[in-house]
Structures are given as C-alpha cells and as structure tokens.
Homo-oligomer: A and B are copies of this chain.
C-alpha cells in the first residue's frame, strides 16, 4: 500500500528447484503487482544451482546462474539471501556466512533449523540480522509469524499439528475409501505425494523435524530433531481405522509439543482424535496446526503444507518482512533459544486404544483385566470383536501413564491367552 521504492531489493537465491522456481515466477511474473502490494521491488540478482546447464522452467537473466553458492552470498550486489538448498551442509555454512556479512536470510530448510537452529539464531542475534523461516513448517500456512508475533505475549500450553501431507493423504484414503496402508501409499506415490523411499514421511522423521521447530518457537527452548519421540503410520491397519470410526474418532499422525510443568514434551505419533475436533476434518494432503494458549483458547491454522507455489508464497512473505526491516534498520528480532528440560514419553499420560488377538474362552477377559489392574491402568471401554479364532478385544483406557501402559503390554505379551498384541494408539480427549 506504500508507494513503491525505486531501489530494488536484490536477492541471492541458493537453490532453484520446485520452490525456488516458483519464487522466481512470483517475483518476475507479477513484479508490478508485488511492488504495488508491498511497496518493494525485488530483483533476483544471483542464483546458485548445482547444474548450471540444466534447463529451468523459469527464465533467469543472463549471467545470473552460477554453481558457486559462496560467491552469491558474498556478492556485494546481493542484499538478502534465500536458502532453498535443503539439508544441513553446505546450507549451514552459507547461512552463517550471509548472517556474518549482515545479510538477512530467508530459509525453508527444516532439517537445518531442526538440527542447528540454535547456532543460527545466535549468529543472527550477534549480527543483528533477520533469519526468517516461515516456509520451514507447514508450507504456505502463516504459522511461525503468528506464533512469534501475534501470540508473543501468550502462554502457549500445547500445539498439535498435522504437518506431513503425505501421511495425511494416506490416512485419508484409508479412512474414506477403506484402502489398505500399502494401497494408499502406492496411490500417494503415483500422485507424487510420496517418495519412492517413503521412510522420511511415513515413519515420522519429517514431522519430527517440524515438531522440533514448533517446540523451539512455542517455548523458546532449543529442541532438535533427535529430542523428538517418534512413531510412524506404517503399522496402522484398516481394522484400527474401522474401530476408531465406530467409537467416534479418526486416526491422524500428530506432532504434539506441550509444556508439562516446567518441562517440554515433543513427540510424533498416530493418534485417535474425536470426529468433532477441528483437526479431524483436515483431509488429503492439507496441513493444520492446532494451538492452545491460556488467554487465546483454541486456534487452528490450516492450508497447503507443501508444493512450490504455497511454499514460495511463505518465502515471499518473509522476504517482504526482511526487506522492510533492512530499510528501516530494525532487523534482528529473531531471538535466541535457551536450554530446556524435556519430559520423556514414559512420563506422559494419555488415554490409549489397544487391541489384542485372544483365545476365545471363559476367563480370558478376567486374566487380561488383571494385568491392566496390576499396573494401575483403568479401562474405560472394552468390546469383543469376532469369535473363536478371530476373537479380538479392543480397549480404550482412562488417562494412564505411558510407562504403565508399556508395562501392561509387556505382561500381556506373556499371557497364554493373548495371541498377539496389536496397535497401540494414543487418544486425544475428550476424557
């Protein structure tokens, strides 16, 4: 809404794949529109890529491409650096170099932040320079800025997020079409939502890195990917999803970060959530982050968690912020992280869903219930499905400690009448 400044903001772009290409498209395809809306003219001055000869979807000015990323960072004609290489090195070195030279950095790199974020924030604070990373979690959804600015004064108690589109797509297909895990994964791969090796998505590594970043922002403590308890969705069966539906729940892979007393608990695992919960209606490859704060109550931010254009849109928002701050000399509010205390999953409590394949004879339920009782795990509901060889007991517990539930499972596995201990899923309220 301001009158566009004639002096362009000159961007040095590191990486020009899916997101980088979309960013160039946004900046060059609608330069007047962007200038009109933001009061800023952007110019993509230098672009570092691995292979200069490769054909690009977007047109770049002659001589702008190079394979030498360091020369882009140190180019005196580059005002702001956008890091879209991914991975830890050389991204880390390049970002540190840019910050040291007083250049704001915008990055979409979740691995980088979830592993060496604290070091980068320190470097940004020391240099008094912006390090912005809206695109690193939940793609185009405005999330980091609302958490850091709009909710700056808020005491956040818990964040639960659907932050991996691939697994949400797979679980949606299993829920809506009755597909098996394998078929839904194959469909996701066919659509390009899942990689040929889907481990990073389906085993929760991607969501874990995002959980670490969310916890760092929400609580101001240094949380790295390795601190995150993690379970994936590859063990979820159509049977689990069926039972969940009958009981009024849906199964989602959640990244949960919460404050427990003075400690922080960070975890990723599939969970059963009530169908009336706002997260339950987040379908297909969409992401959403549900925030609970003491004053603000419940919030949810929903949108596209991935894809070139949505992610580039988040990068552009950060670029606008960095450029304004640079011009008004008010950069460097990224903040630093302190060491936090963690609460291990063992010590957390939750409601649980679990199922057991059992021998169908009198006295089995009594034997099973005795094991629950010995560990102080109280049963909220039980139902038997099937008969004879197909007999299965399905339990929902009252709130219980993880450690006690795991001890219960351990003992159940040694019970003669129990043929197989099936899925264990944590249940998110209502109690």
Contact = CB atoms under 8 A, between A and B. Distances in A.
Contacts of A33: 155
B333 A38 contact: no
A429 to B, nearest CB: 16
Contacts of A329: 328-330
A151 B142 contact: yes
A55 B356 CA distance: 60
B328 A330 contact: yes
A80 to B, nearest CB: 13
Interface residues of A, number: 65
**What's the number of copies of this chain in the assembled complex?**
2
A220 B37 contact: yes
Contacts of A297: 140, 303-304, 307, 309-310
Given A278-B281, A281-B278, A316-B154, A296 B300 contact: no
Interface stretch (A228-236, A319-327, A395-403): A319-327
Interface string A295-307: 1111111111001
Given A302-B300, A325-B330, A149 B153 contact: no
Given A37-B152, A37-B153, A337-B1, A304 B296 contact: yes
B335 A220 contact: no
A142 B142 contact: yes
A146 B144 CA distance: 10
A386 to B, nearest CB: 33
Given A295-B22, A299-B142, A300-B303, A313 B278 contact: no
A153 B295 contact: no
Given A154-B316, A295-B310, A295-B316, 10 more contacts: A1-B220, A1-B337, A140-B296, A140-B297, A146-B150, A150-B314, A295-B309, A296-B309, A300-B300, A325-B330
11 contacts: A37-B152, A140-B297, A142-B150, A145-B150, A149-B149, A278-B281, A280-B281, A297-B303, A300-B300, A300-B301, A329-B330
